[in-house]
Amino acid sequence: MSDDLVTTIGLEVHVELKTATKMFCGCPVGFGGEPNTRVCPVCLGHPGTLPTMNEKAIEYTTKIAMALGCEVAPRSIFHRKNYFYPDMPKNYQISQYDLPIGSHGILEVEVDGQRHKVGITRAHLEEDTGKSLHMGGGGRIHDADYSLEDFNRAGTPLVEIVSEPDITSPAVARAYVGELRSILEYLGVSDVRMEEGSMRVDANISVAPPGERGVKVEIKNMNSIRSVLRALQYEEKRQRKVLGAGGSLDQSTRHWDEKSGKTNPLRSKEEAFDYRYFPEPDLVPVEPGVEWLRQLKEELPVLPAERRRTYEDDLGLSAYDAQVLTATPGLGDLFETALNSATQADAKQIANWVTNNLAGLLAADGEATLDTVKPADLAGLVDMVAAGDLSTNQGQDVLAKMLNTGKDPKALVDEAGIKQVSDSSELESIIDSTIADNPEVAERIRAGDQKPFGFLMGQVMKATKGQGNPKVVTEILKKKLS
């Protein structure tokens, strides 16, 4: 019965901009460090202080709005959002209300071959809060004896991106967050590190029969794209179970617990929220004007979606490869430069080496980063494999060495004297002696039992010190044993 229930998800994503200074004062933006050392009278909310707008933050937010296909407001203003919280110095947050910088955008994602359009309600600019450290009670706010406030983060430019409730499944939600993160990384406006909180995702999820309005449940504390998926899957199941059992849900906020893999209800404040928004009198309106907007538009980079399209349509890459290559700007850049300098290898082969071998090695080894590999060297390596001078296995060894030493493949190949023997006369003598050394095995194969073929194959490769061209060896062996 719960099969005909529909899941509706809306996401609210907060992104810290990586400007040099805070939104409304000249304090440096940063992560970690000694508490209360990146603060000034302004971001501490001292009496008499006034905010001054960070031009770069306005530009970044406008670019985000553009990249999300939003209408960029010809006139936007800041409002004060009034509520008391000890991590908020002025006890009001300078935010945007009815005139955000961006509105009515769209973000398209693909999940197992299915395209989903997710509407963007708004993208607005505000200031981040400080951080509370909860002391006692295991560091949980509910059981803490008291808290400590660090305002280093207070005032960091924060863009809030609110989606329409267009998301129909946890998988689509994950894809949306992933795509959004790629776009922001391409724009170079944020570190988008969910673990460090420079990208924070809250979700509203409801389950209801088609056409009916479900009860919105808000999920907080999802600190990775994976936990977004897990939390929403858990919550979806939970709500379906309750409804399936004829129970009812109540509007609430739940906290995702990574360890237990469960969402737990947050004790809700009985106080009704009333933010008393009003236009911030200390700041004047922003009216970018066509010229400024045109300039910002020109500065927009090629975005992941467009890149994916060219990779698939023009270069004939698989959807998977295109996806992996465009997820972060770095991989795609490496791939494109390598492809340009390659002489033998084609796009598919280069892509393959980047997505499988290189990505694998990078994941395995923590030190090595993308920029340890010179695109030209990668191209050179894949060319050698394509030319048959190296086997795939040999190539992987060389690539590993390239990551550690930063040397180019030619040099490494010569040093280690690695080469692939494809010369059949040379191989034949080796094969003959191997057969001679294993007469009964050879007999069984001739008798039609193919099982030991692999063993014999291995013996030959061993004898060639792994440098025999597997294709050629197989051919000769087959011929001699038929």
Partner 1 sequence: MTKKLWEHAGHELAGLVASGNVSAVEVADSVLSRMEQAEPDVHAYLTPTAERARADARKVDQAKAAGEKLGPLAGVPMTLKDIICTKGVRTTAGSKMLESYVPPYSATVAERMAFAGLPLIGKTNLDEFAMGSSTENSAYGPTCNPWDLGRVPGGSSGGSAAAVAAGQAVVGLGTDTGGSIRQPAGLCGVVGLKPTYGLVSRFGLIAFASSLDQAGPITRDVRDAALVLQAIAGLDPMDSTSLPNPVPDYSARLEDGIDGLKIGVVKQISQEGVSQAVQTRFRGAVSILEKLGAQVGEVSLPTFDYGIDIYYLIAPSEASSNLARYEGVRFGLRIDAPDVLTMNSRTRAAGFGAEVKRRIMLGTYCLSAGYYDAYYLKAQRARTLIRQDFERAYNDFDLLVSPSAPTTAFAMGEKLQDPLTMYLSDICNVPTSLAGAAAMSVPCGVSAEDGMPVGIQFMAPALGEETMLKAAYAFEQELGFDAKPAIWSAS
Partner 2 sequence: MGIDKKQVEHVAKLARLDLGEDEKELFGSQLSAILEHAQTVAALDTDGVTPTSHSVPLLNVMRPDVAREPLDQAEALANAPAVESGHFRVPRIMESE
Pairing of strands 217-222, 252-257: parallel
Query: Based on C-alpha coordinates, what's the Rg of the chain?
Result: 29
Q: Rule CB under 8 A: is residue 80 a binding residue for partner 1? A: yes
Please report how close the Cβ of residue 81 comes to Mg ion at its closest, in angstroms: 8
Cα-based angle 433, 434, 435 (whole degrees, multiple of 5): 90
CA proximity to 476, closest of 436, 423, 439, 438: 423
**Binding of partner 2 at residue 48 (CB under 8 A)?**
no
User: Is residue 197 a contact residue for partner 1 (CB under 8 A)?
Assistant: no
Q: Which distant-in-sequence residues (6+ apart) come within 8 Å of 30 by Cβ? A: 38, 152
Which residues does residue 160 pair with via DSSP β-bridges, in sequence order? 14, 124
Structure tokens at 255: 């906290």
Q: Is 160 in the site for Mg ion (CB under 5 A)?
A: yes
Q: Is 4 in the site for partner 2 (CB under 8 A)?
A: no
- Rounded to the nearest whole angstrom, what is the least distance from the CB of residue 270 to partner 1 in the complex? 11
Kindly indicate which of the ranges 2-10, 38-46, 276-284, 423-431 contains the residues binding Zn ion, using the contact rule CB under 5 A.
Answer: 38-46
> Taking CB under 8 A as the rule, does residue 75 contact partner 1?
no
Burial of residue 218 (CB within 10 Å: 0-12, 13-18, 19+) is middle
The reply on whether position 128 binds Mg ion by CB under 5 A is: no
**189 by DSSP, 3-state: which?**
coil
Beta bridge partners of 34: none
**Amino acid at residue number 49:** T
- The β-bridge partners of 14 are 160, 200
Q: Tell me if 270 contacts partner 1 by CB under 8 A.
A: no
Site for Zn ion in 395-414 (CB under 5 A): none
Distance in angstroms (rounded) separating the CA atoms of residues 162 and 122: 5
Determine if 377 is a binding residue for Mg ion (CB under 5 A): no
**Binds Zn ion by CB under 5 A, chosen from 11, 23, 43, 158:** 43
List the one residue out of 174, 270, 272 whose CA is nearest residue 226. Answer: 174
Q: Pick the closest to residue 110 from 185, 171, 42 (CA basis).
A: 171
Shortest Cβ distance from residue 32 to Mg ion (Å)? 23
Residue 160 binding target from Zn ion, partner 1, Mg ion, none, CB below 5 to 8 Å by type: Mg ion
Site membership for partner 2, residue 291 (CB under 8 A): no
* 95 contacts partner 2 (rule: CB under 8 A): no
29 near Zn ion, rule: CB under 5 A = no
Is 86 or 209 the residue whose CB approaches partner 2 more closely?
Answer: 86
174 secondary structure, DSSP code: H
Six-digit token string for 225? 């794209």
Q: Would you say 134 or 262 has its CB closer to partner 1?
A: 134
Q: Which residues bind partner 1 (CB under 8 A)?
A: 41, 44-53, 80, 82, 84, 86, 89-92, 147, 149, 151, 274, 276-278, 281-284
Q: Which residues bind partner 2 (CB under 8 A)?
A: 19-21, 25-28, 34-41, 44, 52-58, 77, 84, 86, 132-134, 141-142, 144-151, 267, 269, 271, 274, 276, 278-279, 281, 283-288
Q: Which residues bind Zn ion (CB under 5 A)?
A: 25, 27, 40, 42-43
